[in-house]
Structure 1
Amino acid sequence: MTSLRKYLTLNSGKRIPTVGLGTYMMKNDVLREALDYALYIGYRHIDTALSYGNEVEIGDVVESRIKHGTVKRKDLFITTKIPPVYLGYKDCLESAEKSLDNLKLNYVDMLLIHHPCGNPNRGDGNLKPLDKNGGRELASYDILRTWNAMEKLVGENRTVHIGLSNCQPTVINKIWKAAKIKPSNLQLECHAYLQQNELGKLCADKGIIMTSYGVLGAMARPDQSGNKPVLLDDPVIKEISSRMNRTPGEVLLNFVAQLNRGILPKSQTKVRLKQNIDVLGWSLSQEDVKLIKNLGRNVKYFDFPWAKNHPDYVPNEPF
């Protein structure tokens, strides 16, 4: 069986590991143990965000591994993100410094705008401020000024690359047109039910590497509702996995990797962590890839309902 590429080449010419460890909703000792084992078995891309509240744990493990000589900083690829409350120019700079302090690093490899639809910074550290009706309070920022701050961080060697997350074509094109340093990565939900073909073409045309989260259907997300199909239970996926003697999760991960996109599977169990990083050692047949491509049905598990009320949200554009 053909192996898939372990690295994808960014528009800087540098490489990003195809498989990264997603850490959303992972904290404390569970995260420390999972990350320590992940680094031991070969994971080199770690994905986090200031809003995940787990950068300190990641920093502790990474610092320990580097100190003991079991990994070198230059071999790691660490991604973090600027939350929607910190999209103001100065706030963006401060957010990055906060992340670097948490991670105990001089620089990160990728810094992303977590979501372009902003929330107000009240100065109290609340990353998800609510309005008087209990909904997410919204605020608009000049996203090009945010990008200027990101470019400044590159110039100061606080991050090697800068990119975007959960962004629609309109904002990607707006930033691309004005940017001195072009976005090199777009992170977004992508899986067999949401294949992101429009954004995939946009990224391919611009040389932006797409990194996918929720590849397994995001069953652990906090707002999981019963009215969306369970991706891991799809009959086509189960038939392929049975025939190939692979788990449904392995099939789903391999499929997205075959689209030349990065994947960020999340797990805290050793068996799954190993399966997930080994998923590049084999490949689905073109016939099976075609079967899975036919499953696309625009199911979005991370729906961001608050963002759809934002004045900067563009109706009917994918993200």
Structure 2
Amino acid sequence: MSVSVPSVTLNNGKKMPILGLGTWKSKPGEVTQAVKDAIACGYRHIDCALVYGNEPEVGAAIKAKIEDGTVKREDLFITSKLWNTFHSRHLVIPTLKQSLANLGLDYLDLYLIHWPMGYKEGGEMFPTDSSGKQLYSGVDYLDAWLGLEEALEQGLTQSIGISNFNKDQTEQILANGKVVPVTNQVECHPYLNQKKLIDWSRSKNIYITAYSPLGSPDRPWAKPEDAQLLDDPKIVAIADKYKKTPAQILIRYQVQRDVIVIPKSVTKERIESNIKVFDFELSPEDMKAIDSFDCNGRFLHLNWVKDHKYYPFNTEF
């Protein structure tokens, strides 16, 4: 049975489903089936990125589901992201076209600057020196933004936005660009609820999209002793109360805050379970309780590049 997912209206009038499927860390061999399963059970929003290395496999799934009549292209909302090694303005459109070719699409629904930090251009995705230290470029993210605006004008994408930007960096875009980003995609879950950034962004008509809403338990640098959001007894207790899974509680929490949410899974049962969050509502008391778990608990801190001049997490929000 297919679930119907509500949409939000972005600042440019376009509609974006409030729930989507994340594809970061989804292995090429698994992601085609995951995306097929997601589209079959009602997902219409798929979140991709060039650096994930799996766009061709995502594209194969989209093609299959269009060909078998499950969806039309215009039913889908497909996002991709500009990687850090392509921030020079002249590189933006060729890089976006590479994602389109990978995905087998004529246009994207949304294109984001993946991170504000630029890495050394013209080589590998993660350029390093002989000691393994990341190599940076001095290219300003505003250059990248102007490239995104050109892509929008050319119809290569229907909306543009940012990811992992703090308030000050977002203000730079607002001050220097012509287009207001439709969304800022950031890590967001009860341990890092982003309330200040959400409230500030809302005042600028920018939606927040929550990535790693389940705490990203499979992030590559996780340690056995790290806190596991899905196992948090307080979350488990709320899940038991509503007869839902902890993941469903964490996803519903974002939906009720009017935050777009993109849980990742490649397991059919979980993909199907994660979309079943529109048949119940968390009480105001439970929402408040979940808000209170905030401890600035960032899982995707990228500490190894915090000496970059555009590292985003040195400010309050």
Q: TM-score, normalised by structure 1?
A: 0.95
Aligned to 2:185: 187
Aligned to 1:6: 6
Aligned to 2:278: 280
Paired letter, 1:55: E
Query: Aligned equivalents of 1:181 and 1:254: distance in 2?
Result: 30
Paired letter, 2:102: N
Counterpart check, 1:138 vs 2:142: no
Aligned to 2:263: 265
Query: Aligned equivalents of 1:311 and 1:29: distance in 2?
Result: 37
Aligned to 1:299: 297
Counterpart check, 1:76 vs 2:67: no
SS of the residue 1:160 aligns to: coil
% same residue: 37
SS of the residue 1:70 aligns to: coil
Contact 2:5 2:19 in 1 (8 A): no
Paired letter, 1:205: S
Aligned to 1:160: 158
Instruction: Report the Cα offset of residue 227 of structure 1.
Output: 4.3
Aligned to 1:209: 207
Paired letter, 1:62: I
Contact 2:118 2:141 in 1 (8 A): no
Paired letter, 2:42: G
Q: Equivalent residues in 2 for 1:170-185 (5 A)? A: 170-185=168-183
Query: Aligned equivalents of 2:313 and 2:41: distance in 1?
Result: 43
Paired letter, 2:218: A
Contact 2:185 2:209 in 1 (8 A): yes
Aligned length: 315
Aligned to 1:43: 43
Query: Aligned equivalents of 2:127 and 2:71: distance in 1?
Result: 38
Paired letter, 2:138: S
Instruction: Report the Cα offset of residue 147 of structure 1.
Output: 1.1
Query: Aligned equivalents of 2:51 and 2:205: distance in 1?
Result: 28
Aligned to 1:90: 90
Paired letter, 1:23: T
Aligned to 1:64: 64
Rate the CA distance shift 1:20–1:315 in 2: closer, same or farther, 3 A. closer
Deviations 1:85-142 (A, max 9, x none): 0001111121101101101111000000000111011x33x11111232121112212
Rate the CA distance shift 1:5–1:209 in 2: closer, same or farther, 3 A. farther
Rate the CA distance shift 1:104–1:205 in 2: closer, same or farther, 3 A. same
Contact 2:165 2:312 in 1 (8 A): no
Q: TM-score, normalised by structure 2?
A: 0.95
Q: What's the RMSD between the two structures over aligned residues?
A: 1.7
Contact 2:79 2:110 in 1 (8 A): yes
Query: Aligned equivalents of 1:89 and 1:223: distance in 2?
Result: 32
Contact 2:116 2:312 in 1 (8 A): no
Q: Equivalent residues in 2 for 1:123-134 (5 A)? A: 123-124=122-123, 126-134=124-132
Query: Aligned equivalents of 1:57 and 1:318: distance in 2?
Result: 38
- Segment drifting more, 132-141 vs 190-199: 132-141
Aligned to 2:237: 239
SS of the residue 1:108 aligns to: coil
Paired letter, 1:309: D
Instruction: Report the Cα offset of residue 314 of structure 1.
Output: 5.5
